[in-house]
Structure 1
């Protein structure tokens, strides 16, 4: 009898909250929805599949799972559900972004350097609607793994994380935070060591050799893990044929257009000049796109980090206020020096986006990320929202842009059965936005509640909590 009473009591208590997960007070202060039963009514939905926006919809969330979704008239709202009026609002899937970092540039004199943003960035990513992210290279992988663990345990505020290992690179660029392999024999050791530690993907960098990549791909694939790359010494074509899973930055760093390119050699300036000189309708890009699709090589676009200065915000997405004052000053000074002097960058930026649309329209798997590095104008959270805007500005529909930033990312991570779309049976990873994205894509900045596993977090409160802190921690 006592056993039956205990089971009954357990069931009653479990129905009062989404799960038995405990949150620290530091996390709880951002949670505005903590109920096992939620109904968002009369809302517009962009479901992440690329289908047209649907109006007058109701979503029922039960125990962290989407229990029902459909027309208002067809969905019965359960008794005791927490009702949220979605009138004049839009729901999208939680963003699944695949080129994120936990660090931010902190250059010194003529040195490029980066600093870990252990506390500000996870919170900003979630504030910006990112419910799942992949770090595309770590400088402190142990820190990233700890942050992932503590977020999962409810001790820190942030998205679900797929952690990439440290950059696999040979010495070339003098970036003090990078480790460098001494030869191909180091690659397998590095992959297997960090796979044992819990990383879920690997990233190769500018100065690797073909043999380095071959070993990396073989060892990672043995363990069911994937390899991505920001390449220069290898062309996209070479890497795709070797078996790389993903190429970073679209075609912005491609060395495929260099005439008589030296094998395993990186000259980024020559590669950039060749890219600039390549005509928009160059037969080589059509051939390359076809090859990448044939080989099932995904592409991650990171448009914010390449966004031109002229005619654009100082910090894309409106994130200038997130920076510590000294960083705001440096970014503004650099912006003022460069603005109206970046015509070649504008042309390269626009050409890359047009080529990416061709890749997507032909059936390639296009995913998105932000890469908060470069000149320091890319800030977590703000940049994720801005990414959606840029995609729409470059010719994608808002429905396509949301799909690229949600379902496509989930497909790449092989998690599309659980996340990536607003669909019955999937995790309640959703974003409630004030306004219509169809009428004005910039309403992506009007996020109100970010649901992760059914818990609703206050977007504005998370953004405000770390205002003026980026660059410090």
Structure 2
């Protein structure tokens, strides 16, 4: 009986997958506003042909022949963008080490077709769910899984704290063999151990990112780290009285540092020259600014009651000065990222889900915050798609161009003039398969945050 029961459950899961996506088909989208992810001009009244899961043709002409069996979508009044590539998109939140299919469906329903998890609290489960999505057993974005966090003495005891060089090399080999593609070092990592992580990862064609403190951005960049997370909020280069190799020193720089100073210019130039990717995580920082903090209706519906109750008073902070300070810091973080991008730096983005910021919904919020930071619509899409692909070392995703994988979103509205259109998803396509956002979200109400 038990065997029969598990077979029935498997068949039900397969049926759900089939019900929520159609077969990869020949699709022709006409009269659509196209923001292709390259950072180039927005294209109006564009036609895009998708066949065999790739972009077959992208052209600005209505002169085409339609063969039988082609599904036609009239894009009038809609916007087409690449699937979002979220590169700080965990499958865990504080207090819940693995969100599983809840997070993966939230990401996909929000138009995030590829994620890099940027550190795993449950690496075995993360690698397994990545495999299940790849084989079509469950729904979700393509997942680029991470190994466990690696920190140093005095760091979080739930992370890997290397005892010696041999143990660290063995740990990296173990998780590489398991299927991890990235390693993330955390605040207390010692310089000599970071160098080993980078060397071992690169030897195995894997990559390394960091939420830094003990090591400065400049030091890590010159060691060859591939990416650094959180921008100005985690810079330790300008900490007062910082000890070399230790997470120490004061943080006055966050409020007082002249962002037009020569030392900031030199750091940004160094990062650009070394092609070190910076990852923007504005939505999670904004969640700490009480004057800005609200739970939108969509998030409220997805949250469990007990989880939602944690945030009853988030916008009613009694300390208005703290809120003002954090608001100013948010603006400075934005300015730092803007300067880096305008210098030619590779700025990517991810939600870093936590607090009341949900997977996927927080990625959409990042779009609005990057617009607030001064970027144009096409620059933000470039940051959130092509630059994410660059961070991953991928050339098959991230833009809508002939020959690339057909990962894209159709938005019900004009994103160029209505930033809120990023939330109005009509359809999501991943690898040529069509997904309906409402169907993906339907079974999630009241479940987010349950242990």
**TM-score normalised according to structure 2 size:** 0.93
**Residue 199 of structure 2 is aligned to residue 199 of structure 1:** no
1:431-450 to 2 correspondence within 5 Å? 431-450=409-428
1:339-418 to 2 correspondence within 5 Å? 340=320, 341-373=322-354, 376-416=355-395, 418=396
2:97–2:122 CA contact under 8 A, matched in 1: no
1:125–1:380 CA contact under 8 A, matched in 2: yes
Matched residues in 2 for 1:352 and 1:337: separation?
A: 22
1:27-426 to 2 correspondence within 5 Å? 27-31=17-21, 33-106=22-95, 114-174=96-156, 177-267=158-248, 270-307=249-286, 308-315=288-295, 318-337=298-317, 340=320, 341-373=322-354, 376-416=355-395, 418-426=396-404
Residue 271 of structure 1 deviates from its aligned partner by 4.4
**2:333 alignment partner, SS class:** helix
2:240–2:252 CA contact under 8 A, matched in 1: no
Distance 1:72 1:179, change over 3 A: same
Matched residues in 1 for 2:411 and 2:92: separation?
A: 28
Matched residues in 2 for 1:382 and 1:336: separation?
A: 22
Matched residues in 2 for 1:40 and 1:23: separation?
A: 30
Residue 347 of structure 1 deviates from its aligned partner by 1.1
Residue 182 of structure 1 deviates from its aligned partner by 2.6
Distance 1:306 1:339, change over 3 A: farther
**1:320 alignment partner, SS class:** helix
1:71-121 Cα deviation digits (max 9, x unpaired): 242443332211112110011001111001001222xxxxxxx43101200
Residue 320 of structure 1 deviates from its aligned partner by 3.0
1:101–1:138 CA contact under 8 A, matched in 2: yes
**1:100 alignment partner, SS class:** coil
Residue 338 of structure 1 deviates from its aligned partner by 6.1
Residue 173 of structure 1 deviates from its aligned partner by 4.5
Distance 1:338 1:171, change over 3 A: farther
User: 1:471 — aligned with what?
Assistant: 449
**2:69 alignment partner, SS class:** coil
1:222-274 Cα deviation digits (max 9, x unpaired): 1111110001111111111111110001121111111331012213xx44333
Matched residues in 2 for 1:360 and 1:321: separation?
A: 36
2:241–2:250 CA contact under 8 A, matched in 1: no
Q: After the TM superposition, which of the residue ranges 205-214 and 50-59 deviates more from structure 2? A: 50-59
Count of matched residue pairs: 438
1:237–1:292 CA contact under 8 A, matched in 2: yes
**2:48 alignment partner, SS class:** strand
Query: Which ranges in structure 1 are unaligned for 5 or more consecutive residues?
Result: 1-21, 107-113
**2:427 alignment partner, SS class:** strand
2:29–2:73 CA contact under 8 A, matched in 1: yes
User: 1:109 — aligned with what?
Assistant: none
1:328-386 Cα deviation digits (max 9, x unpaired): 1112234433674411111111111111111111111111111113xx12210101111
2:230–2:280 CA contact under 8 A, matched in 1: yes
Runs of 4+ in structure 1 displaced over 6 angstroms? none
**TM-score normalised according to structure 1 size:** 0.88
Matched residues in 2 for 1:135 and 1:276: separation?
A: 30
2:101–2:140 CA contact under 8 A, matched in 1: no
Distance 1:317 1:450, change over 3 A: farther
User: 2:3 — aligned with what?
Assistant: none
Matched residues in 2 for 1:171 and 1:461: separation?
A: 46
Residue 316 of structure 1 deviates from its aligned partner by 6.8
Matched residues in 1 for 2:297 and 2:269: separation?
A: 33
1:60–1:77 CA contact under 8 A, matched in 2: no
C-alpha RMSD of the superposition: 1.9
Residue 397 of structure 1 deviates from its aligned partner by 0.4
